[in-house]
Structure 1
Amino acid sequence: MKCDNCGVREAEVFQPHTGKRLCRDCFLSDVQERVAREAKKLGVTSVSRVLIAVSGGKDSLVLADTLSKVMDPSKLIAFNIVEGIQGYNREDQVKELYHYLRDLGIELISTSFKTSVGYSLDEMVSSSRARGLNIAACTFCGGFRRKLINQAGRDVKADLVATGHNLDDEAQTIIINLLRGDVRKLMRVGESPLKLSDKFVMRVKPLRKIYEWETTMYAFLKGFKFQEVECPYISARPTMRAKVRDLMYALEEKSPGFLLRLVENFDRIGEEVRRESKLTTLPTCKMCGEPTSFGREYCKNCELLISAGLRPVSS
C-alpha cells in the first residue's frame, strides 16, 4: 500500500488519530514538522540558549534530534542526571548519549543525585524505608530532577528549559491533577510557559503534541539506541500515573485522537483560567533558598530529606 502523503513510497506506519498510512520519510517529516510548530509557538526557536533535559530514553533523543533540525545546535545544551538506581543507570548509556549529542553538535553536561544532593536515589529510598515511611521513589526522583534541571538552566543562563514530555505524559498529568483536585498544578499545564519565581527558568515541552508510540517509532526508524528497560521502582510499585496511563490507553484505543483532543481542549480552558487568575510569586525555602509552595517553610525536597533522616532541620 502506498503512502497517503507522497503516494510514491510504501507505507510503513499507520497513524490511528489521522487515519493515514505513511512511509518512513513522511512519518519522520510529519513528527519533525509538528515539533517545529510547537517549538515556534512556545518561543523555543527565537531565544539564545535552551537547556534540554536528556535521560538517554527515546523521548529525550527525539527531542534533541528534532530541535537540532529547527534551530542552531550550538544554542542547545543537553543536561543529564544519573539518579543512582542499581542496575538501571549505566555508564555505557551516558557514553552513548554523549556521542550521539556530539554528532548533532549539542554540548552535554551532567551530574548525579549523589554529587548534587549528597545521596543517590537508592540511598534516599533505603533511608526512608528504614524509618518506616511509605514514600515512593518517584516522589524523591521527580522533585530532585526538577530542582537540578532548573539549577542547571540558571547556571548556563538558559532562556528556556525543554523537556521530553510527550502527549501521553501531558494528558496523564492533566487527569492526575484533576483526580487530586490540585488547581494550582493544573494551571501550570498548558502551552504558554508559566513563571512564578525569578529563580525558575521557564519550562517548555516541544513534544507535548506527539504520541508516545510516535516517539518510539521515530527512535526505531532513526536507529537510536535508547534505554528500553522500565525503572525497577515503577515495576515494583505502580504509581497513580501508571494506573491512569493504562486507563487512557484503553480510551485512546476505543476513540483514536482522544489524548490529543483532551490536551488541546484543556489548553483552551487553561488559558482562560490563567488570564482571569492572579498568580503571585512563590515564597522560598528557608533551608535551600529555592522556590516552595505557599504556606510551606521548606520545599518538598528538603522536607523529604528531613523526613528520611538525611538532613537535620537546623542545617
Structure 2
Amino acid sequence: MICDVCKSREAVIYQPHTGRNLCKECFINDVRERVKREAEKQGITKVNKVLLAVSGGKDSLTLADALASFVDPKRLIAFNIVEGIQGYNREDQAKKLNKYLSDLGIELISTSFKAEVGFTLDEMVSSAKGKGLNVSACTFCGGFRRKLINNAGREVKADLVATGHNLDDEAQTIVINLLRGDVKRIIRVGDVPVKLSDKFVLRVKPLRKVYEWETTMYAYYKGFEFQEVECPYISSRPTLRARVRDLLYALEAMRPGSLLNIVEEFDRVAEEFRRKSEMKELPSCKICGEPTSYGREICKNCELLIKSGLLNYQNLPMS
C-alpha cells in the first residue's frame, strides 16, 4: 500500500482519526507539523529560552526531538526529576536520556525529590500510609513535580516551560475537571497559557494535539529506547485518571477522532470563558511561599507533608 501523502513510499502506519495510510517519513513530518502549529500558537518560537520537562519516556523524547526540528536547540534546556520509586527510576534510562538530548544539542539538568523535598516518593507514600491517610502516590508525585519544574524554570530564567502532555492526557484532564466541577482549573487547561501568579513560569503543551499511540510510534521510528514500564503505583492503585482513560479509549475505538474533538471543542469554549471572566492572582502558601489555590492558606504539597508527619507546622487550617 502506497502512502496517501507522498504517493511514492510504502505506507507503514494507519492513522484512524484521519483515515490515512502513511509512510514513516510522512508520519514523522505530520507529527512535527502539528507540534509546530501548537508551538507557534503558544509562543515557543518567539521566546529566548524554553525549559523542557523530560522523564525519558516516549512523550518527552518526542517533545524534545520534534521541537529541535524547528527551534534552535541552544534555546532549549531539559529538566529531569528522579522521583525515587524502587525499581522504576533506573540509572541506565537516565544515561540514555542524557545521550539522546546531547545528540540533539540540548543541555540536561537533573534533580530528585530527595534532594529538593527531603524525601523520595516511596518515603512520602510510606509515611502517609503510616498515618492512615488515603492519599495516592500520584497526588504526591503530581504536585511536587509541578513545583520543582516551575522552580527550575525560574532558576534558568526560562520564558516558558514545555511539558510532554499528549492529546490523551489533555482529554483526560478536561473530563476529570468536569467531573470534579472545577471550572477555574478547567479554563487553565486550554491551548492559550494563563498566568495567575508572577511566581509561575507559563506552561505550554506542544504535544496536546498528538495521540499517545503516535508519540509511541514516533519514538519507535526514531530509534529511541524509552522506558516502557508503567509506574508501579498506577497499577497497584488505579486513579480516577486511569478510569477516565479507559472510558475515553473505548469511545475513541468506537469513534476515531473523539479525543481530538473533545480537546478542540474545549479550546473554543475555554477561549470564550476566559474573555468573560476575571482571573485573580493566586495567593501564596504561608509555608513555602509558592502559589496555592484560591481560598487556601497553605498549598496542597505542604499540607500533605504535614498530614504525613514529614513536616512540623502548627495552627494553620487544612482542607
Q: Which runs of 5+ in 1 are unaligned?
A: none
* Equivalent position of 1:87 in the other structure: 87
The sequence identity of aligned pairs, in percent, is 71
Q: Number of aligned pairs? A: 315
Q: TM-score when scaled to structure 2?
A: 0.98
Cα distance, 1:287 vs structure 2: 0.3
Distance 1:283 1:82 in 2: 29
Cα distance, 1:295 vs structure 2: 1.4
Cα distance, 1:32 vs structure 2: 0.7
Matched, 1:282 2:267: no
Q: TM-score when scaled to structure 1?
A: 0.99
Cα distance, 1:297 vs structure 2: 1.2
Cα distance, 1:314 vs structure 2: 4.7
Q: Which runs of 5+ in 2 are unaligned?
A: none
* Equivalent position of 1:306 in the other structure: 306
Structure 1's consecutive aligned runs of 4 or more residues displaced over 2 angstroms after TM superposition are: none
Cα distance, 1:296 vs structure 2: 1.0
Which amino acid is 1:191 matched to?
Answer: D
Matched, 1:227 2:227: yes
Superposed CA deviations along residues 217-239 of structure 1, whole A, max 9, x for unmatched, are 10111110100000000010000
Which amino acid is 1:225 matched to?
Answer: E
SS in 2 for 1:191: coil
Q: How does 1:265-280 map to 2 (within 5 A)?
A: 265-280=265-280
Distance 2:22 2:281 in 1: 47
* Equivalent position of 2:209 in the other structure: 209
Q: How does 1:1-315 map to 2 (within 5 A)?
A: 1-314=1-314
Distance 2:292 2:34 in 1: 34
Distance 2:92 2:12 in 1: 32
Which amino acid is 1:52 matched to?
Answer: L
Deviates more, 1:139-148 or 1:91-100: 91-100
Cα distance, 1:91 vs structure 2: 1.2
Distance 1:179 1:286 in 2: 30
Distance 1:218 1:260 in 2: 18
Distance 1:172 1:152 in 2: 26
Distance 2:287 2:6 in 1: 59
Which amino acid is 1:253 matched to?
Answer: A
Cα distance, 1:135 vs structure 2: 0.5
Superposed CA deviations along residues 214-265 of structure 1, whole A, max 9, x for unmatched, are 0001011111010000000001000000100011011011111000011000
Which amino acid is 1:114 matched to?
Answer: K
SS in 1 for 2:149: helix
Which amino acid is 1:6 matched to?
Answer: C
Cα distance, 1:92 vs structure 2: 1.2
Superposed CA deviations along residues 146-174 of structure 1, whole A, max 9, x for unmatched, are 00000000000000000000000000000
Distance 1:91 1:28 in 2: 29
Superposed CA deviations along residues 168-223 of structure 1, whole A, max 9, x for unmatched, are 00000000000011111101111111100000000000000000000001011111
Which amino acid is 1:100 matched to?
Answer: Y
Which amino acid is 1:158 matched to?
Answer: A
SS in 2 for 1:67: helix
Distance 1:102 1:220 in 2: 19
